[in-house]
Amino acid sequence: MTPVSRRGFLRLAFAAGAAGAARSPRPALLAAPRENPILPGWYADPEARIFENEYWIYPTFSAPYDQQLHLDAFSSRDLVTWTPHRRIFEAKRTTWVRRAVWAPSVVQKDGWYYLFFSANDIQSDRETGGIGVARARRPAGPFEDYLGRPLVDRFENGAQPIDPFAFVDPDDTHYLIYGGWRHCNIVTLNAELTGVVPHGDGSTFKEITPEGYVEGSWMFVRNGRYYFMWSEGGWTGPNYAVAYAIGDGPLGPFTRIGRILQQNPDVATGAGHHSVLHAPSGRTYIVYHRRPLGERDRNSRVVCIDEMTFDADGRILPVVITHAGVGRDVLR
């Protein structure tokens, strides 16, 4: 694939918009000559990881649900120049996905890369869909359906089975944290990542919903404490935001601290559904989507990156969303 620099964003964004125009009446993406957004085109729900000494971003292809039938990925060695990897996963590679593929989450295990995803936007247990899993030998795929069916397909504890986040605990236990409709569950995955097993307390679908939770979870460990993050507010509106809580373990309980990412009416609106990237340099970044000023279509979302910092007590400081983004942070 040909690398895409952020300074080449404008040209590619116009091309992406022109290609999308044949599929949708949405306007072509017009990028200002800035550093944020970092990816060309409409993308959302970015998951950032480091695999094989490269930064990777796995976003949702932001389009009407009936057109949202594939996933792309982007890789970089420096957070500035990004290489696109197109259609790493497609709905047509499954027998059960018919619409609305979104919110990918990827982990590496035993020589495989596992991609968890939402599909079909089911509204009840009577429908086919939920959270699926695909796998590949390379972080760029192609990913093939692993189970031939959803991994989670029921509304346990009232949680819509969407927005999976695959969390690997420092003890190497693999969890899946997920949920919409203002409920969040955590499950322990079995060794093959084909199903769930009971937690140590005997529960299976354990609800860990914090105050204000809507969707889009993320978790990381810092200095022995578990930071549980999520999005709140409506994803189609300007007040989408990210909040967090802290606990002593992945199952909680968690104490809400507050919001750390939200809109700035002078920069962009609808800032949310994020991931956190801990670079070997020691810097921490938040990768998220937002809506450019003047855009009203709910699918007009772009991926951005800004630095995330902590105070002396380990609390996350409010993130300043910028046009400038971040500088080079080279993986060596």
Q: Identify the active-site residue in 153, 156, 215, 306.
A: 215
**Considering 45, 153, 163, 232, which one is annotated as catalytic?**
45
CB 323 within 8 A of CB 32: yes
Per the structure block, which two tokens stand in for 63? Answer: 């389009």
Rounded Cα distance, 1 and 222, in Å: 35
CA gap 46, 58 in Å, rounded: 6
Q: Which residues of 89-127 are buried (b: 16+ CB within 10 A; e: fewer)?
A: bbbeebebbeebbbbbbbbebeeebbbbbbbbbbeeeee
Residues in the chain: 332
Our answer to whether residue 45 is catalytic in this structure is yes
Distance CA 101, CA 59 (A): 11
One-letter amino acid at 257 equals: I
Q: In this structure, what DSSP letter does residue 127 have? A: S
157 SS3 class? helix
- To the nearest 5 percent, what fractions of the chain are helix, strand and coil? 10, 45, 50
Residue 181 near residue 158, CB atoms below 8 Å: yes
Rounded-to-integer distance, Cα 259 and Cα 7, Å: 31
Q: What is the DSSP string of 229-253?
A: EEEES-TTSTT-EEEEEEESSTT--
Structure tokens at 166: 């695959």
Nearest residue to 237 via CA among 265, 262, 269, 261: 269
Active site residue 215: yes
The set of catalytic residues is 45, 215
